[in-house]
């Protein structure tokens, strides 16, 4: 028996299929963040630095992760925009023969040139 994937699992799978380099970059950024964040904590669970220093370092780590997320988001949005433009172009190209056929039918029925009205 196969267990159906959840919507989040499907989204993640599709992201990895369509954007492998971006998802890989995100994975590496998250791994780096987690490793650096873990390094801020001692083995006994206490913080290595004062509260203020810990907060500054955590903020810097989050800013770096946010920068990577923004870059990947930009790349994904650009790819989506290009795909949407390509789809619109393909739809227009598909509609052209239909318009040409309608013009020829009108010309034949109405006795007007194909390019008129």
Cα separation, 81 vs 21, whole angstroms: 18
pLDDT at 19 (0 to 100): 86
Which sign, positive or negative, has the C-alpha torsion 22, 27, 33, 35? negative
The predicted pLDDT at position 35 comes to 97
Could you read off the pLDDT of 52-99 as tens digits, one per residue?
Answer: 999 999 999 999 999 999 999 898 899 889 999 999 988 887 777 777
Using only C-alpha atoms, the chain has a radius of gyration, in whole angstroms, of 27
- Picking from 54, 15, 60, 56, the residue whose alpha carbon sits closest to that of residue 33 is 60
Mean pLDDT, the chain, integer: 88
Q: Is pTM, for the whole model, over 0.85?
A: no
Tally of residues, the chain: 117
- The share of the chain scoring above pLDDT 70, in percent, equals 93
Beta-bridged to residue 41, according to DSSP, are 47
Task: Calculate helix-pair angle for 7-18, 20-39, nearest 10 degrees.
Answer: 110
Q: Does pLDDT of 116 surpass 70?
A: no
């Amino acid at each position: 028996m196969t267990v159906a994937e959840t919507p989040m699992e499907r989204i993640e799978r599709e992201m990895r299929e369509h954007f492998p380099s971006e998802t890989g970059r995100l994975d590496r950024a998250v791994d780096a963040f987690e490793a650096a964040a873990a390094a801020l904590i001692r083995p006994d669970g206490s913080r290595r630095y004062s509260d203020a220093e810990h907060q500054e370092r955590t903020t810097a780590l989050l800013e770096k992760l946010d920068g990577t997320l923004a870059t990947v988001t930009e790349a994904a949005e650009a790819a989506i925009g290009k795909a949407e433009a390509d789809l619109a172009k393909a739809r227009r190209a598909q509609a052209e023969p239909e318009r040409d056929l309608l013009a020829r039918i009108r010309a034949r029925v109405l006795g007007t040139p194909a390019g008129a009205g």
